[in-house]
Every structure is written in structure tokens, then in C-alpha cells.
Amino acid sequence: MKLNLGVAEALLQLQDAEPTPAVLFSGNFQYDENAGELEGEKLQHLYKLLENWQPDLEVYREIVNQRFLGQETEELAAAA
């Protein structure tokens, strides 16, 4: 598994307000989709990868929030 993370400048435009500078984070996980020799094995591997979307999302959130925004997990839970 490999995480590709993008960070870009952005402007947030709300109704009738001046644009606000922002930072846009985007990311995706790259997996080895060639695992398994047979078609059935490949399909099962794909299903397993798709079932893991929630842990992958949590890894992404932790990286962005802790390493880029400097927020601890407890602070984020309290703010939610």
C-alpha cells in the first residue's frame, strides 16, 4: 500500500463574501492489484481492499490532521 498525498493552495468562495485562502488536501491509496493468480483470487483481493476503506480514511485523516495541521486525535474528537 502506498499513500499519494497532494497539497495545494485554494480559495474558498462563499456567497457574497471575499474569497478566503485555504489549503486543499487530497489523497489516494495505491495497492498492488495483481495479487493472486486466478481471476477469483483477484476478485476476492479487490473485495478485501474495498472493505478496508474506513481504516484507510482514518490513516489519511490522522496524517493530515496531526502532521500538517498539528492537531491531536483527542482535540478533533472533542471538536466534533
User: In b/e form, how buried is each residue of 27-38, taking b as 16+ CB within 10 angstroms?
Assistant: bebeeeeeeeee
Give the chain's residues under pLDDT 70. Answer: 33-37, 73-80
Which pLDDT score, from 0 to 100, does residue 46 have? 84
Q: What is the overall mean pLDDT for the chain? A: 85
Q: Note the maximum CA span of the chain.
A: 57
Which pLDDT score, from 0 to 100, does residue 66 have? 92
Dump pLDDT digits (tens) for 53-64: 999 999 999 999
Which pLDDT score, from 0 to 100, does residue 43 have? 83
Dump pLDDT digits (tens) for 4-13: 999 999 999 9
